[in-house]
Amino acid sequence: GENVEQHPSTLSVQEGDSAVIKCTYSDSASNYFPWYKQELGKRPQLIIDIRSNVGEKKDQRIAVTLNKTAKHFSLHITETQPEDSAVYFCAASISGTYKYIFGTGTRLKVLA
Partner 1 sequence: KAGVTQTPRYLIKTRGQQVTLSCSPISGHRSVSWYQQTPGQGLQFLFEYFSETQRNKGNFPGRFSGRQFSNSRSEMNVSTLELGDSALYLCASSPSRGMTEAFFGQGTRLTVV
| Residues forming the site for partner 1 (CB under 8 A) | 1, 31-32, 34, 36, 42-46, 49, 51, 89, 91, 93, 95-105
Report the nearest approach of partner 1 to the CB of residue 98 (Å).
4
> For residues 6 and 85, which CB has a smaller minimum distance to partner 1 in the complex?
6
d(CA 47, CA 92): 14
d(CA 72, CA 25): 7
Report the nearest approach of partner 1 to the CB of residue 29 (Å).
13
Among 76, 85, 7, 80, which residue's Cα sits nearest to residue 40?
A: 85
Among 36, 60, 30, 66, which residue's Cα sits nearest to residue 48?
A: 36
Report the nearest approach of partner 1 to the CB of residue 44 (Å).
5
> For residues 42 and 112, which CB has a smaller minimum distance to partner 1 in the complex?
42
